[in-house]
Structure 1
Amino acid sequence: MDTDYWIAADKEHCWHPFTRQSEWADSEPLVLVDGEGVWLTDSEGRKYIDGNASIWTNIHGHKHPVINEAIKAQLDKVAHTSYLGFSNPRASELAEKLCGYFAKDTLNRVFFSDDGSTAVECAVKMAIQYRFQTGAPERTEFIAFDQAYHGDTMGAASLGGVGAFFDRFKKFGFPVTHLSGLGELITLNKDQIAKTAAVIIEPLVQGVNQIRPWPEGMLAEIRRWCDEHQVHLILDEVMTGFGRTGTMFACQREQVVPDFLCLAKGLTGGYLPLAATMVQSQVYDAFLGDADRAFYYGHSYTANQLGCAAALANLSIFDQEQTLLKLPEKVELLKGLLADLADRHPMIYEVRQCGMVVGVELRGANGKAFDVSPRVGEKICLLARDHGLLTRAILDTIVLLPPLSITADEIRQMCEALGSTLTDWTKKNLPSH
């Protein structure tokens, strides 16, 4: 079997996420077959920097020996056992480890699931059931934010603010009010607040909204507002968790502890599907008692032993390699290189950065946004492959979100690849002056 075979079989039988399948038939997809560190290799032997950490999941690089060995060791025991009515060592250890990142008697319970969408789905269903079981059945609505993204399952998607993902399904989702920011939140009327179960937000920075950081201090203000009005706070840290913003969790930047914390993507270091919804003790306590108070929700691979083993190894590497201590220098290097790049490339309208999460917004002459139909950002990402860089664009914002293990030299290579790509595109597509 070779590249031609794999591509032919793909085009004949596969259906890709977020992909215009009618155009896929005429594309030349890369078949990725190997990886090491921040590098990926395709079936033709070409190497690329994994500039978006394999859709924001990889933390310590591909083929990390610690995670590899942990998975192999677990395979020698058992790959998966049911978590419904049973326990397993790795899940117990992982839950204890996650709770240890927060003060005692705060986020001290963990509900495992499969991915970011299900982590959020668990939180919102728990938030509603909690209200029914604590004498506030009228509190069944949610507050979210414009252009937010919280996953693709029906409930989680209904909380998102991106119309293209959910407009056609609106009537099937949770009742939600989308706000532009803190100002609209603090001016909500009493009737609206009285119906609200929880506020959900991506802390510090919105991902799918072209990497847009929130104002400093906003998260802490939302926490205070939620406390004042007895509204739960759900933090979607599917993208921001596990060091992406400089601290283990983004909420720790503003010393905020939510009522629900949703984790996935980097939980296993980008190796295996696994998610966690962490909850405060008073939430958990409301589900104790008779059988009808239980949380009837779960998945076949909940707390699967392989995933939990990978997650434990992933978390151990943070300590072994002092990952967080090394981040500030990398963040500053990336910031400086991108500032220099912006000075040299007039296409760069703005660089938005929160830790190792970066969006490079591209625009045309005089800062005018490109028309949507040419899909400039998408084409530039395709061109970047010729310079050894893999990433994706959100509209015309190029996302750079590499594994945290990326070295200083690799950061330079990544920025040079983007710069060379922009130069090539400019020569081919923009008139010279």
Structure 2
Amino acid sequence: MSLKERDKKHLWHPLTQHKIHPEALPIARAKGALLFDENDKEYIDGIASWYTVMYGHCNEYILDKVQQQMQKLDQIVFAGFTHEPAIKLSEELIKILPNNQEKIFFSDNGSTANEVGIKMALQYHFNKGEKRDTIIAFIDGFHGDTFGAMSASGLSVYNGPFEDFFINVKRIPTPNQENIDEVLKQLQDIITTNEVAAFIYEPLVQGANAMHMFEAVYLDQILKICRQNKIVTIADEVMTGFGKTGKTFASDHISAKPDIISMSKSLTAGFVPMAVTSCTQEIYDAFLDDSIGKAFFHAHTYSANPIACSVALAGIELLQSEEMQNNIRRIITSHKEFNTTIKDHPKVKATRQMGVIFAMELHIEMDRYGKKRYEIFNHFMSQGIFLRPLGNTVYILAPYVITKTQLDKVYGAIIDLLDFV
């Protein structure tokens, strides 16, 4: 029985309507920016497997660090115990995070990192004797699939059946030059009429919202109003973190720094699941009390897994290396040059770029998961390119190790697409 047939027997894949798309492509191995199927056909991983393997698949340096750690300590409960990989990782993260961050809390994935951040914000006010029950979030933002994270997310394609069970969330548009005054007015109205605990946002790039981008100067105004009203700010850096926007974190582009930051995905370089929620000393101090009830009672079995911590440490070293920084600069320049060749094409509605993230919006109407989307996906796969369109937006977010030849092949497939559509 083939792998495809064995897969169909028991497996339920995410974001998949199995009645329409019953088969999944088996991938047998991966290296660098390449994926290989069971027939050894290669595909360029143009989205770094959902923005995780930024230093390349099966990176030798990380593999070596993982093997060393596996021989020392595999897993230990993080309640009442600690270990050097977690301690070292906290030290290295604090060095590269915005300078107001002081404490590190471990969890399992991007959704739970945001769940932790939301719970921290709600309990922060509760512990101070204030009942604040409202979260502010952007329209069409996405923060994950657990209930708090879903509540804050605005993409109904993911949330529809569950919306009656959500926490109280008020939404504002992402700001731009034309709407900033109206957005600030809406924000003030929400603050006036609700007990607002937190504002959660994807800084500068909304990943699931087709890589929608907005400017730091306008987000900065929102964050400053939140601070004036003692609203906890939560930066969802799950997608944007670790170099993708041209700085280590997207929050580095913004003057006002968040109280809480969530991170995952490329934190562990695609090797193992892990997430971190960082916060300021002020947030942490609100949980210190003689009453056990004011402690933060949130835990994951694999919190601060030593192997995952060793992977994250190796990833931070690679990110800061001269080679990786040169790669990032090369990709940024290549995207800018490619943009000049396609931005005026009649099939191109708009293009946008921040750091290594490049997005092209097609001048066609199509559903996010409709037939045309899969035709575009299959067009790329037939050329050995793994790109995953978000509605009518095609984006590139490739591993930093992608070669010029590989990146040019991705560009070529996009140019071919413009004739195809």
Q: TM-score, normalised by structure 2?
A: 0.93
Matches within 5 A, 1:14-413: 14-25=11-22, 27=23, 29-102=24-97, 106-137=100-131, 139-182=132-175, 183=180, 184-187=182-185, 188-189=188-189, 192=192, 195-289=195-289, 290-343=291-344, 345-364=345-364, 369-370=365-366, 374-413=370-409
Is contact 1:244-1:404 (8 Å) kept?
no
**3-state DSSP of counterpart to 1:110:** strand
Deviations 1:175-196 (A, max 9, x none): 1001113434421227546500
Instruction: Summarize the Cα distance change of 1:216–1:389 in structure 2 as closer, same or farther, 3 Å threshold.
Output: same
Distance 1:140 1:372 in 2: 32
Q: Partner amino acid for 2:149?
A: A
Rounded to whole Å, the distance in 2 between the matches of 1:414 and 1:371 is: 23
1:299 is displaced (CA, Å) by 0.7
Query: What is the CA distance between 1:407 and its match in structure 2?
Result: 2.8
Give the distance between the partners of 1:421 and 1:185, measured in 2 at CA: 37
Partner SS, residue 19 of structure 1: coil
- Could you tell me which runs of 5 or more consecutive residues in structure 2 were left unpaired when the two chains were aligned: none
2:277 is paired with a residue of what secondary structure?
A: strand
* Greater mean alpha carbon deviation, residues 320-329 or residues 396-405: 320-329
The answer as to whether partners of 2:54 and 2:266 remain within 8 angstroms in 1 is: yes
CA distance in 2, matches of 1:73, 1:372: 43
Name the SS of the counterpart of 2:408 in structure 1: helix
Deviation at 1:322, TM superposition (A): 4.3
Quick one: structure 1 residues 36 and 191, their matched pair in 2 at CA, closer, same or farther if it must change by over 3 Å? closer
Report deviation, 1:341: 3.1
Cα gap change, 1:338 to 1:286, in 2 (>3 Å): same
Deviations 1:15-67 (A, max 9, x none): 00001111222x4x321111111111111111111011101111111121111
Distance 1:232 1:177 in 2: 15
111-120 vs 353-362, which deviates more? 353-362
Which segment is superposed worse, 33-42 or 165-174? 165-174
1:344-394 Cα deviation digits (max 9, x unpaired) = x53222222111112221224xxxx24668532331111211111002111
**Secondary structure of the residue that 1:189 maps to in structure 2?**
helix
Shift of 1:320: 2.7
Indicate conservation of the 8 Å contact 1:246/1:324, yes or no: no
SS at 2:2 equivalent: helix
**Are the counterparts in 2 of residues 81 and 304 from structure 1 also a CA contact under 8 Å?**
yes
Q: Aligned partners of 1:234 and 1:255: how far apart in 2? A: 15
Cα offset, 1:153, TM superposition: 0.5
Shift of 1:77: 1.3
Which stretches in structure 1 are left out of the alignment for 5+ residues? 427-433
Q: 3-state SS of the aligned residue for 2:129?
A: coil
**CA 1:216–1:294 in 2, change beyond 3 Å: closer, same or farther?**
closer
Instruction: Give the alignment's Cα RMSD to 1 decimal.
Output: 1.8
What SS does the corresponding residue of 2:412 show, helix, strand or coil?
A: helix
Distance 1:195 1:362, change over 3 A: same
Whole-Å separation in 1 of the counterparts to 2:369 and 2:386: 22
Residues 190 and 411 of structure 1: is their aligned pair in 2 closer, same or farther, counting only changes over 3 Å?
closer
Q: Is the 8 A contact 1:107 1:280 kept in 2?
A: yes
* Greater alpha carbon shift after TM alignment, 274-283 vs 413-422: 413-422
CA distance in 2, matches of 1:247, 1:8: 44
Equivalent-residue separation in structure 1 for 2:313 and 2:193 (angstroms): 40
For residues 257 and 190 of structure 1, the distance between their equivalents in structure 2, rounded to whole angstroms, comes to 22
CA distance in 1, matches of 2:206, 2:192: 24
- Alpha-carbon distance in 1 for matches of 2:296, 2:255: 29
Q: 1:281 and 1:193, CA in 2 relative to 1: closer, same or farther beyond 3 A?
A: farther
Q: Distance in 2 between matches of 1:131 and 1:214?
A: 30
> For residues 134 and 85 of structure 1, what CA distance do their matches in structure 2 show?
26
Residues 1:229 and 1:388: Cα distance change in structure 2 (over 3 Å): same
How many residues are matched? 413
Equivalent residue number for residue 431 of structure 1: none
Structure 1 CA distance for aligned equivalents of residues 192 and 11 of structure 2: 45
Distance 1:82-1:374 versus aligned 2 partners, 3 A rule: closer
Instruction: Report the equivalent of 1:429.
Output: none
- Measure how far apart 1:418 and its partner are: 2.2
CA distance in 1, matches of 2:161, 2:214: 28
User: TM-score, normalized by length of structure 1?
Assistant: 0.91
Change (3 A) 1:393 1:328: same
Does the CA-based 8 Å contact 2:32-2:402 persist in structure 1?
yes
Task: State the distance in 2 between where 1:264 and 1:217 align.
Answer: 26
